[in-house]
Each structure stands twice: as structure tokens, then as C-alpha cells.
Amino acid sequence: MRLPQEIIRDKRDGRALSPSDIAGFIDGLARERVTEGQAAAFAMAVFFRGLALDERVALTRAMTESGTVLAWDLPGPVLDKHSTGGIGDTVSLALAPMVAACGGYVPMISGRGLGHTGGTLDKLASIPGYDVAPGLDRFRAVTAEVGCAIIGQTADLAPADRRLYAIRDVTGTVESLDLITASILSKKLAAGLQGLVMDVKTGSGAFMAGHAEARALAESIVTVANAAGLRTRALITDMDAPLASAAGNAVEVAYAVDYLTGRVREPRFHAVTLALAAEMLVIGGLAADVAEAEGRLTAALDSGRACEVFSRMVASLGGPADFVEAAERQLPRAPVVRPVTAETAGFVEAVDTRAIGLAVIALGGGRTRPQDAIDAGVGFTGLVRPGDRVASGEPLGHVHAADEAAADRAAAAVRAAYRIGEARPEPRQAVMERLG
């Protein structure tokens, strides 16, 4: 292997890297022969200079092959979905059991919060006893028995990505199309999938805020994944407002439970969840078309089968057997909960969704350093969305905070994130485009 600093220098100066250079650097990263500083410099060089398609494929393969690659022998298709991240995006917790209830197998490897967005792994970690990092044998067994298992990266799967992921989070390189593509697909290829559906977000709360940027990322992922032999489709979905009316960790888990039990079915969240899950069923051969898939998924929700699968998954990974029935009592709760009131009356014209995510981090619900602990109980609930009418003094949402001072700061951030005016905005489509 060439010296890491020479590889960094080549990319910094805009030169193409060979597959052997990329493989050597990633192997060094996995084996900790490449330092954090060198990894950060490499990420920044890629961020500014970019990777050609062949470099992107080489990086994805090297990160996949840095650890174990799973193989499955199951009676149904092995499928997954991945989101590029957003606020109130707790889709995975509902989608995985819905697909499993329809005959798919979903071994979902999720990440921690990244940048201003929440992470599925952090949400699940708020469930008492839930093991987000089981061994591969347990991961395999739960997937086979229950139909789905949502965990974090183990030491065996794509270890180079796990290290680089944490570094990207705190070095301003999260938004790199090349690094996002390789990070997502290395985990999915290592999981031994037969089909993948990507949820690429666009809007004020997305990493790729513009539609053109989101489309470029979706095309990159679909192209690289299919070149690597993984059948993949992508949906571009709206993140110009929080997807769910809850943003945080425990509060989003509670929202997912309410969705699965039927207590809450907010139209926008439901539309995105149903669309992604339907594409999974079609790509896995479990439905002839999207209409048939949506019918099967709706039946799985309404009959309670999807909720039962979720409950079994939680219990099988160490969580309480009665979690669904007693989620409110068992989840962490913030000591201060109070409304964030609107100062003027009118229609919600827009929401700076990224600012909502940053406010969750400021409350303690996210990280500014890889080693930071998370306060799982903090966040927001009942967030109003564009098009809603509010009166002066009515809630824009409720803040869940560790103390009054933190609640004051969060309330100010939420008020600043909402633009209220006289005109009701035109509604945006929840699912904006399909690729692949």
C-alpha cells in the first residue's frame, strides 16, 4: 500500500485514485493503520474533489469487503430500505415489520444520528434492554424467526464504514455524494440483500436540499448498487417539513408505536412509509405491482400483524415483552414538557426543518462529538406543518427538555424555524419521484 498521505495528496490535487489505492487506504482504515486525522483529510479531499464512477464503485466494494459479507438461506426475499436522513423520519421502525408481515425478510443495519438528522439506532437504543449491537448469530436468528431485525453495525460488517461514518459526522463532510453512496451501499451489500429501496430526501431538512442534488444522489446509488449486483430502486421524498410530528429519539419510538397500533396515522408519514414498503414488496416479487403491494401492507397494518412483528422483534432483541402495551411508561421521559406557542396568527408558510434537527441536538438528543452521550427523552412532539393554521398563543408543538433553560432555548429555536403568514402554501407531494 502506498502511504496514506500520498493517496490523500493525489485526491486533494484532483487526481484519480486506482482501485488498489482505494482498497489499501480502506484496509488501513479498518485495521487502524490510517489515523483519524488522515481519514478526515481523505473525506475532505473527496468532499471537494469528488470521485468518478469507477472510484465510487471501488470505494463501495472496499468498504463492503473490509468485514464479513452475510449470506442468507430463507424462504422469502431479503430486502431493505435506507433513508438519507431527515427530521421525524422514523419510517424504518414501522416499515420493517410491515414488510416482514407480508413475507419479506428485513435485516436492517442502521446508523446513529448524522449531522442534523436523527438516527434509527439512537431511537431504538431508547427502548430499555434493546440490544442494538448483537452478534451476527443473534442477528441472523432474529431475522429468520421474526422476519426483521434492526441493529447497528457490528464489528464484523463494513468496519471501515463504521469508523469513517463517525468521522464524517463531526468534520463537515456528511453531504458528500460519493461518501454517502459508499457508506450506504457498503452496509447493504455486506448484509447480503437481494433488493434495496432508497429514500432520498430533498428539502430544507435534507442533506441534499435541492431536488437536482437529491436526484443525482439517487441516480448514483441506483447505478452503483445495480453495478454491484444489488437490485435497487429509489424514491425522492419531501423533507421540507418534519416527516412525523415528533422529532427526537424516545418520542419518535412512541410515534412509531402509535402508528403501528393505529392510534396515529398522519397522512404524510403514512404515504412515504407505504410507498417505500410497496416498492420493497414489488422488487422482492411479493406483489405484482404497487397497488397490490399497498393493499397487502394496509391489511398487515389494520389486522395488527405488523404491530405484532414489531413487538416480537423488540422482545427478541432484549426489549420488554410488553413494550407496545406499555411504551409510554417504559421509554425515557424528559422532566420538562411544555408548549411552544406561536407569537402571531396565520398559516404556517414554511419550516426550516434543519433548524428543528439542530434544536434537538442542542437539547442533548444528538451529538457534536462521536463520544457524546445522548439524552433519549428530549425532543419535540405535536409539531404543526406547512398549511396548518395557528392562532396567536396556540402551540407550534411541545418541547421535551432536561431543564427550563434548555426548554427556553429550544422554544426560541422552534419559533425562529417557523414562518407564519397570511397565505396557505401549496401542498408538496410526499413522494416526488421514482427512479430505477
Percent of the chain with pLDDT over 70: 98
| pLDDT digit string, tens, across residues 364-377 | 998 766 677 889 99
348 and 306 assigned to the same domain: no
Residue 84 has a pLDDT of 86
Average pLDDT taken over every residue of the chain: 93
Residues 114 and 146 in one domain: yes
* pLDDT tens by residue, 198-240: 999 999 888 777 899 999 989 999 999 988 889 999 999 999 9
Q: How many domains would you assign to the chain?
A: 3
The counts of H helices and E strands in the chain are 17, 13
Tell me the C-alpha distance between 242 and 266, whole Å: 12
Please count the other Cβ atoms lying within 10 Å of the Cβ belonging to residue 108: 24
Tell me which of 290, 311, 328 is where a domain ends. Answer: 328
Euclidean distance between CA atoms 108 and 53, whole angstroms? 26
Residue 231 and residue 278 share a domain: yes
pLDDT of residue 422: 94
The domain spanning residue 33 has which CATH number?
1.20.970.10
Looking at the structure, do residues 373 and 286 belong to the same domain, yes or no?
Answer: no
The residues assigned a catalytic role are 80-83, 120, 168, 183, 187-188
92 and 235 inside one domain: yes
CATH number for the domain spanning 110: value is 3.40.1030.10
**59 lies in some domain:** no
pLDDT for 207 equals 74
**Domain check: are 323 and 337 in the same one?**
no
Sheet holding 247-248, edge to edge: 247-248, 379-381, 395-401, 336-341
Residue 277: inside a domain = yes
- Where among 328, 357, 387 does a domain terminate? 328
Average pLDDT over residues 320-324: 97
Residue 93 lies in a domain: yes
**Amino acid, res. 132:** V
> Does one domain contain both 318 and 271?
yes
Residues 100 and 239 in one domain: yes
Residue 63 lies inside a defined structural domain of this protein: no
> Which domain range does residue 406 map to?
332-421
Question: Does 97 score more than 60 pLDDT?
Answer: yes
**Dist CA 84 CA 105 (whole Å):** 21
Residues 313 and 342 in one domain: no
CATH of the domain at 382: 3.90.1170.30
Question: What are the pLDDT digits (tens) for 111-126?
Answer: 776 556 668 889 999 9
Q: Do 41 and 173 have their domain in common?
A: no
Beta strands 346-351; 231-238: pairing state: unpaired
Domain identity same for 358 and 405: yes
Please report whether residue 71 resides in a domain: no
User: Within a domain: residue 74?
Assistant: no
**Domain stops at, among 273, 297, 328:** 328
In a domain, 231, yes or no: yes
What is the DSSP annotation of 213-245?
Answer: HHHHHHHHHHHHHHHTT-EEEEEEEE-SS-SSS
Q: What is the pLDDT of residues 148-200, one digit of tens each?
A: 999 987 778 888 998 898 888 788 888 788 998 998 899 889 999 999 999 99
Is residue 300 assigned to a domain? yes
**In this predicted structure, what is the pLDDT of residue 152?**
86
339 and 291 in a common domain: no
Q: What is the pLDDT of residue 177?
A: 86
